Chains A and B, each alone.
Chain A
């Protein structure tokens, strides 16, 4: 069971912390300082189909227990102790996510997408069409990547007139951080033509790639 001390924290912080903890735990105990926070936690538990139990410890101290149904709250304990537990938000956690939550788009810190070309596979025409389809299908995924990194000819996809700019905007609007390599943008003279994404550098690209659980490439 995960324990969270959210005293002094206003909504939605206690809710966010609880929700994140529930990805890897079947049961979470939260202490909050306001009755209103307990009511918000209760709403979340109800929506996700989890059990909710509240105990007022003192005037400004409330303990809330949220458990996934049919769980003893103990079965994940061992997995937590294992070093692989750092895969906090990766797909490994997905089997433990309830149906209600599966229906929602979620960001995963567990994977990033790297696009280093403007064609997918070999052959220019087919390759461009496939890459457009790849980016479009990205928007349909239940779990979105945290970052999408574009370098080499991949940065062409970020241009205003690219076939994928609208899809990438949708992804960005849903919280995916879209990054383009600055040197590559300069090389293709796209400085004034970018329609989506922020500029980054090789240091940051290396940092993100080495820190990621998984890298997806078209």
Chain B
């Protein structure tokens, strides 16, 4: 089998679309025995945050995270870049700097190792661009290729950007367009244009480092990265049952073709899992089925979702929009009555 046909087998509806649904996961995590309490664990998994944060001395906390998945593109080099950008993103979403990264590799025994070489090259380039050191890794044989990173980062304990500190009156900013899940899946099925696919690739391979470097200079309330649970899923985590977000549909950035593809029902299982999970928690005040799909669409290496005081938002947005990928104010946060089940309203 030549390299090309092998590479074409790389793809399996992958990326963050392959993530286990948030509902299933929450059920399992609840049943696990709780670890010993340690006051130095500043962020653990009871908080649904992007990464674990552990304080080692007065001025330093370590960020620990990992992410890997099967490919959603045919090109192994691009897959490496996307998977690495996605894994590194959790450190940036916590407000940290990348220190070291380890490769996580699953690769079929009988597949051409040149493909693996291309994957690792893409990954190594992104680690280096992120300012980190690729320090090792672990590889196993598996039926399908999968790749990702385990990443360690550093942050000052008082500079951690948590994902659940939103405040009443905050404005929500999103730093990348939505729809990469729909576009890459449609492309894999031969139903998407090159132009849309290239737009998705540009978005997925862009490190969140650049947006995070700007965001860190402002007093933001909360920050997370939008990945497998889609905009709606990650926003819901951010609101953690106590706040309500009002989104303005027309301001939500997206790859335009993703909307067209959603209209053509080029929809994913991941999107539907997210929709099921948020049933009753989200309300659409407009009849726009394709937009709903965009809001639930699982993102791979998606943008940062930031909650900031309204007074800060215009200047932050202006500075973010000096970057190649355009950010947008997508809505605002209000307090939610405990009797109200609806967390997200799309107008």
Which of A's residues lie within 8 Å of B, judged by CB? 10-13, 15-16, 19, 34, 36-37, 39-40, 43-44, 47, 104-105, 172-175
Contact = CB atoms under 8 A, between A and B. Distances in A.
11 contacts: A10-B269, A11-B185, A16-B265, A37-B269, A44-B265, A44-B267, A104-B264, A172-B195, A174-B193, A175-B191, A175-B193
Contact of B263 (A36, A104, A174): A104
B191 A16 contact: yes
Interface in B186-201: 186, 189, 191, 193, 195-196
A47 B265 contact: yes
Contacts of B246: none
Nearest to B290: A47
B8 to A, nearest CB: 16
Interface string B254-286: 000100100111111100110110000000000
A11 B191 contact: no
B260 A105 contact: yes
A36 B273 contact: yes
A158 B185 CA distance: 30
Nearest to B261: A12
B185 to A, nearest CB: 6
B260 A172 contact: no
Contacts of B275: 39
B189 A12 contact: yes
A89 to B, nearest CB: 14
B210 interface: no
B13 interface: yes
Contacts of B269: 10-11, 34, 36-37, 40
Given A12-B185, A12-B267, A47-B265, A39 B193 contact: no
B329 to A, nearest CB: 27
A15 B265 contact: yes
Interface in B149-179: none
B289 interface: yes
A190 to B, nearest CB: 21
Contacts of B264: 19, 104
A16 B285 CA distance: 28
A39 B21 CA distance: 15
Q: State the main secondary structure of chain B at its contact with A.
A: helix
A39 B276 contact: yes
B95 to A, nearest CB: 35
How many B residues touch the partner, as a band?
Answer: 20 to 34
Contact of B267 (A34, A43, A104, A172): A43
Interface centre among A11, A16, A37, A44 (most CB of B within 10 A): A11
Contacts, number: 61
A105 B259 CA distance: 12
Interface centre among B195, B272, B289 (most CB of A within 10 A): B272
Given A37-B269, A39-B276, 9 more contacts: A10-B12, A11-B13, A11-B272, A15-B265, A15-B266, A36-B272, A104-B264, A175-B191, A175-B193
A44 to B, nearest CB: 4
B193 A172 contact: yes
B21 to A, nearest CB: 9
Nearest to B186: A12
A186 to B, nearest CB: 24
B260 to A, nearest CB: 7
List 3 tightest A-B contacts by C-beta distance, closest first.
A36-B269, A44-B265, A10-B13
Contacts of B289: 43, 47
A173 B267 contact: no
A203 to B, nearest CB: 22
Nearest to A45: B265
Interface centre among B185, B265, B273, B275 (most CB of A within 10 A): B265
Contacts of B196: 173
A12 B193 contact: no
Given A172-B193, A173-B196, A15 B257 contact: no
B195 A16 contact: no
Interface string B213-249: 0000000000000000000000000000000000000
Contacts of A47: 265, 289
B266 A16 contact: yes
Nearest to B185: A12
A103 B331 CA distance: 30
Contact of A15 (B267, B273, B276): B267
Contact of B189 (A16, A39, A172): A16
